[in-house]
Amino acid sequence: MTIIFATFIVVFGRALQQMHVVNGHYIPAAVTPYFIAVGEVAVVLLVVDTGWQAIPFVGTGGALGAVSAMWVHRKIWRRPNLN
């Protein structure tokens, strides 16, 4: 479960970072790498201890992180309705 959460943090952060850069959100783009760094260090430490059995947990955390980042970004940084 911890590996899922750590991978979620990494992928959520990377996906959010990509959307910040593409959409020109400078301050969030400067802060997000620290969030990513915490997750990356945790993933490395946990996967080294777990080995190949970590694959399904890493995949699950990544999938949840990517989809969650897409949802959060669209909810927080909405574009104004031009209609």
- Which two three-digit tokens encode residue 21? 């850069």
- The string of pLDDT tens digits covering residues 58-82 is 999 999 999 999 999 888 877 655 5
**What is the CB neighbour count within 10 angstroms for residue 46?**
18
* Angle made by CA atoms 79, 38, 32, in degrees to the nearest 5: 25
Task: Check residue 75 and give its pLDDT.
Answer: 87
Task: Check residue 1 and give its pLDDT.
Answer: 75
- The string of pLDDT tens digits covering residues 25-39 is 899 999 999 999 999
Task: Check residue 78 and give its pLDDT.
Answer: 73
pTM: 0.85
Between residues 1 and 68, the one the model is more confident about: 68
70 and 13 Cβ atoms separated by less than 8 Å: no
Q: Give the residue among 19, 37, 13, 22 at the shortest CA–CA distance from 75.
A: 19
